[in-house]
Amino acid sequence: MSLLELENVVTAYGKVEALKGLTLRVEQGEIVTLLGSNGAGKSTTLRTISGLVRPLSGTMRFLGQPIDRLLPEAIVKLGVAHVPEHRRVFPGLTVRENILLGGSNRVRASRRELETDAEQMFAVFPELKPFANVLGWKLSGGQQQMVAIARGLMAQPKLLLLDEPSLGLAPLIVQQVFQIIAGIRAQGTTVLLVEQNAHMALSIGDRGYVLETGRLVAEGNPEALWNNDVVRAAYLGGRKMVR
């Protein structure tokens, strides 16, 4: 049984069909990437999985359990954590408070447990330690991204959905973030990663899917996708590209 299965999922925003029958799966322990240019439907896929948007038709199963009718609060309790686009760190709360709230889905955990786990996050993200009591809106983009990922990990998810973690970050920070993602998988958490930065995504993923206007146009392992003209065309027109 796959960890996550999507079959023929159709999602629309009002009149616009953002996903036109998407089928994919994620197996335990993988890093799967979703590629595609802007507007391809990558973020919509994650938002549909995490329950922010309800699909019009199709099925979604997590560990065999259907999740297409559930609220986000219920889905995260099942073990799917979504780190959305643009980081969305709570601006009026400190770094520590943001991270602490990441454990909100763990209803049985005591405050003490959560605080211990939050402290452990500072070990994984040592650059955040000096900023533990700084309010969210004062952080730089890179710091916010780390806080967002730490917050996602606090949920102790089985599946982590990451939406464009490299967005707006300097190349060096991007490298760091991707090291962390690799580390996450090493700890046993499965990752579904949405990235516009195809290079980085393919360098870390086990498998990839390529979306274009809501449809799957290619899938396979990184080498195959990188050499695939369809992928290049999806990003850069393909014709005048020099390798």
Partner 1 sequence: MSGIVSSEAHKPPTEHRSGHGSGFLIVFTAAMTVAAPLLLPLTAYYLNLLMQASTYAVAVLGLTIVLGYTGQINLAQAAFFGLGAYSVALGTVSFGLPFWPALFAGIVIASVVGAVLGLTSLRLGGHYLAMVTISFQQILMLVLTNWISLTRGPDGIPGIARPIVFGFSFAESGTYLALCVAVLWVVGLCVGRLKHSKLGRAMQAVRDNELAAGVVGVDVYRTKVIAFTLCALLGGLGGGLFAGGFTYISPDQFGFAESVVFLTMALLGGARSPFGAALGTALLILLPEWLRFLKVTYLAVYGGAVILLMVFMPEGIWGFLETLRQRLWPLAVLPVGRVAPLPLTTKVAREDGSIILEVNQLSKHFGGLKAVDEVELSVRRNTVHALVGPNGSGKTTLLNVLSGIYKPTNGRLFFDGQAVTRLLPHERAGRGIGRTFQNVRLFTAMSVLENIIVGAERPGNEVAVGSTGVEQHALAALDFVRLAELRKQTVQSLSYGHQRLAEIARALAGSPKLLLLDEPGAGLNTVEKSELVQLLKRLKGHGLTILVIDHDISLVEQVADRITVLNFGRRIADGPPAEVLCNPEVVAAFLGNVKTHVAP
Partner 2 sequence: MGIALQLLFTGLGIGSIYALVALGFVLIYRATNVVNFAQGDFAMLGAFSMVVLCIDLELPYWLGILITLVAMLVFGALFNLAVYYPLRNRGFQPVIISTIGASILLENGVLAGYGPRPQTLPSFFSFQGFSVGPIFFDSQYLLILGVTVVMVTLQYLFFERTLLGKKMQATSQDKEMASLLGIPVALMIMLTFIYSSALGGLAGILVAPILFVSVGMGSSIALKAFAASIIGGFGDVTGAIVGGLALGVVETFGAAYISVPYKDAFAFIVLVVFLLFRPQGLFGEKVAEKA
Which of 158, 215 has the CB closer to partner 2?
158
C-beta separation of 194 from 113 below 8 A = no
Give the amino acid at 142: G
Determine if 204 is a binding residue for partner 1 (CB under 8 A).
yes
Neighbours of 69 (CB within 10 A): 10
CB of 128 to partner 2, least distance (A): 18
Q: How far is the CB of 6 from partner 2 (least distance, A)?
A: 19
Terminal CA-to-CA distance of the chain, rounded, Å? 39
What is the Cα–Cα distance from 170 to 230, expressed in whole angstroms?
28
Contacts with partner 1 in 128-187 (CB under 8 A)?
137-138, 140-141, 164, 167-168, 170-171, 174-175, 178-179, 182, 185-186
**221 forms part of the interface with partner 1 (CB under 8 A):** no
Cβ proximity to partner 1: between 9 and 139 the closer is 139
The whole-angstrom separation of Cα 195 and Cα 177 is 12
Token pair 């870390």 is found at 204
Among 37, 59, 104, 156, binds partner 1 (CB under 8 A): 37
Q: How far apart are CA 134 and CA 221, in angstroms?
A: 41
Q: How far is the CB of 15 from partner 2 (least distance, A)?
A: 18
E strands present in 55-168: 57-62, 65-66, 80-83, 159-163
Binding site for partner 1 (CB under 8 A): 15-16, 18, 37-39, 137-138, 140-141, 164, 167-168, 170-171, 174-175, 178-179, 182, 185-186, 196-204, 213, 233, 235-242
